[in-house]
């Protein structure tokens, strides 16, 4: 009886693996191994299709990458890789995420509730920076080049978030963007950081 159940389970796993093709597994690996994400609300249809495939056949995809030391992880409407023996130390990772606190704070100041699915234009953030001192001060602290215009500073910040897979451009001509589901990754990680108010 146990042998029959084992054989049945093996057949089911084999059948599931047959439903994912090598092109999909390779494409997912190419994206996630570079530190990118698969977001449910991705703009590109091919990325949304990959997300749907991973969402449906998660176990099959997971078993492909695990022997390579890459662990497929599911977040809130997004997927990413967690790698064994990564190059970054814990301290480096924490330092990296501390950088994101200021960025998340900036966008939350621009629009309370800023997050997954929100659409915005660079010009709207620029306008608010020009009329709200607090938001403009945050932008100045985030910018490495103090000589550039407010528009360039905002555009560079948004472009940085796009390159890292947390936002994407919907309207190139008017610089319209959407916040991707992977933005939840930053919010979740930052929430886990234990900030000691006595440690200056």
State the Cα–Cα distance between residues 166 and 120, nearest whole angstrom.
14
Domain boundaries, the chain: 2-83, 90-192
If you compute the radius of gyration of the chain from its CA atoms, what whole number of angstroms results?
20
State the Cα–Cα distance between residues 140 and 105, nearest whole angstrom.
13
Please tell me the number of Cα atoms within 13 Å of 53 on its side-chain side.
23
Per-residue pLDDT in tens (0 to 9) along the chain, 200 residues: 544 444 444 444 444 454 677 899 999 999 999 999 999 999 999 999 999 999 999 999 999 999 999 999 999 999 999 876 555 566 666 777 778 899 999 999 999 999 999 999 999 999 999 999 999 999 999 988 878 999 999 999 999 999 999 999 999 999 999 999 999 999 988 777 655 444 44
> CATH for 90-192?
1.10.10
pTM: 0.82
Q: Is 101 exposed, middle or buried (0-12, 13-18, 19+ CB in 10 A)?
A: middle
- Per 3-state DSSP, the chain is made up of helix, strand and coil in percentages (nearest 5) of 60, 10, 30
């Amino acid at each position: 009886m146990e042998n029959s159940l084992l054989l049945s389970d093996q057949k089911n796993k084999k059948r599931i693996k047959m439903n994912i093709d090598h092109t999909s597994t390779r494409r997912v690996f190419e994206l996630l191994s570079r530190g990118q994400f698969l977001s449910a609300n991705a703009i590109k249809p091919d990325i949304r299709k990959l997300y749907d495939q991973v969402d449906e056949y998660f176990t099959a995809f997971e078993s492909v990458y695990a022997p390579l030391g890459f662990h497929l992880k599911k977040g809130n409407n997004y997927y990413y890789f967690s790698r064994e023996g990564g190059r970054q130390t814990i301290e480096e990772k924490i330092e990296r995420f501390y950088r994101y606190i200021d960025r998340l704070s900036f966008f939350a100041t621009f629009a309370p509730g800023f997050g997954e699915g929100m659409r915005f234009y660079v010009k709207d953030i620029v306008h608010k920076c020009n009329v709200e001192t607090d938001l403009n001060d945050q932008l100045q602290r985030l910018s490495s080049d103090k000589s550039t215009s407010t528009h360039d500073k905002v555009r560079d910040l948004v472009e940085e978030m796009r390159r890292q897979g947390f936002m994407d451009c919907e309207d190139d001509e008017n610089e319209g963007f959407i916040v991707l589901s992977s933005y939840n990754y930053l919010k979740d990680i930052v929430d886990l950081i234990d900030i000691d108010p006595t440690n200056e």
